[in-house]
Amino acid sequence: MSRFDNIRVVLVEPSHPGNIGGAARALKTMGLSQLAVVNPGRFPDPQAEWRAAGAQDVLEAVEVFSSLDAAIADCHWVVGTSTRQRRIPWPIKSAEEVAADMLGKPGATRIAILFGREASGLTNDELQKCHCHLQIPANPEYPSLNLAMAVQVVSYELCKQAERAPVAPSWDRPLATMAQLEGLLAHLQATLVGSNFLDPANPGQAMTRLRRLFTRIDLDDTEVQMLRGILSHLGARVSPQQGSVRRGPGGTPPGE
C-alpha cells in the first residue's frame, strides 16, 4: 500500500476539462492516484483525456461529487489552497510544511487537498471547512497559478518528502471524519442557541471561531462522541430564560 493511497486531491467546480486531465497527469507523475471533482463544468471530455497523456488510469478512476461536503465527508484532515487573506485568520502553511504534516499523520488518516475554481478559488465557507490553508509563494504582482500547476507543486512536495519521512505514529482511535466534525458543530450550535447563549439573529463570529478551534486540533471519533454526549446531557437539563441572551465583554454577543 502506497503512503499516498489515503490522499485525495479535490478540484472544486473546475470549469475547463483540460485542467482535470492536467491534474491527473501531475498526480501520476508524483506517485499519487486519488482525484475527485465537485460539479465540473465539463467531464468526461476529450480535452481531459488529451491533457492526461499517460495518466488515463487516474482519469478513469476520478470520483465526481455533487457537493464539497460529500467529497470530504469521510476525510479526517482537510487542506484548502488559497492566497486569500481572512478577517479571522486560519492556520497557514507552505506546501512543504503541509506535506510534512500529511506524512506525519497516522497511516489510516484520510486526507483531502482542495483546489478551487480557476477564476475565483475557494469560497470563505469552503475554506472554513479546512483544518489549515496552504499558500504557494508567487510573484505578488502576478500570483495567478494554473490549476494543474498548483496540483503539481503540492504533489511534488509530497513525493520529495515521502522518500525520507519516518513511518507515522499510530493512534488508539481513528481521527474524526469531517462528517463527524460537522455533526458536532451543528450539535454545539443548536445547544448554544437552545440555552440562549447564542442569539441566532445576531451570532457574531462565535461559530466561526469555534469551528477554527475544533479544526485546529485532531479530535478522534471517541472524543467527538464524548463531546456530543456532554452536549446532549446539558441540553436536556437546560431551561433557558425566554428572551435572555448571554453577552460577552462590553455587551457584545459572544465571539465578536
Grid coordinates given for 102: 500529511
Instruction: State the pLDDT at residue 55.
Output: 97
Residue range 178-251, CATH number: 1.10.8.590
Instruction: State the pLDDT at residue 239.
Output: 56
Residue 1 pLDDT grade (very low, low, confident, very high; cuts 50, 70, 90): low
Residue among 175, 183, 9 at smallest CA distance from 77:
175
C-beta separation of 254 from 246 below 8 A: yes
Residue 188 to residue 30: CA distance in whole angstroms: 41
- What confidence tens digit (pLDDT) does each residue in 29-48 have? 999 999 999 999 999 999 99
Grid coordinates given for 139: 510573484
Residue 62 to residue 52: CA distance in whole angstroms: 12
- What confidence tens digit (pLDDT) does each residue in 197-213 have? 999 999 889 999 999 99
Q: How far apart are the first and last CA of the chain?
A: 47
List the beta bridge partners of residue 7.
Answer: 111
251: left (phi over 0), alpha (psi -120 to 50) or beta: left
Query: Does the global pTM surpass 0.85?
Result: yes
In whole angstroms, how far apart are CA 60 and each of 24, 25, 35? 10, 12, 10
The domain made up of 7-162 has a fold known as Alpha/beta knot (3.40.1280)
Q: Which residue has the higher pLDDT, 145 or 20?
A: 20
Residue 70 to residue 12: CA distance in whole angstroms: 12
DSSP string, 113-176: EEE-BTTTB--HHHHTTSSEEE-----TT-----HHHHHHHHHHHHHHHHTTPPPPPP-SSPBP
Please list the residue range(s) of the chain that carry CATH number 1.10.8.590. 178-251
Please list the residue range(s) of the chain that carry CATH number 3.40.1280.10. 7-162
| Residue 36: strand, helix, or coil | strand
- What confidence tens digit (pLDDT) does each residue in 90-123 have? 999 999 999 999 999 988 899 999 999 999 999 9
- What confidence tens digit (pLDDT) does each residue in 119-139 have? 999 999 999 999 999 999 888
Residue 201 to residue 211: CA distance in whole angstroms: 19
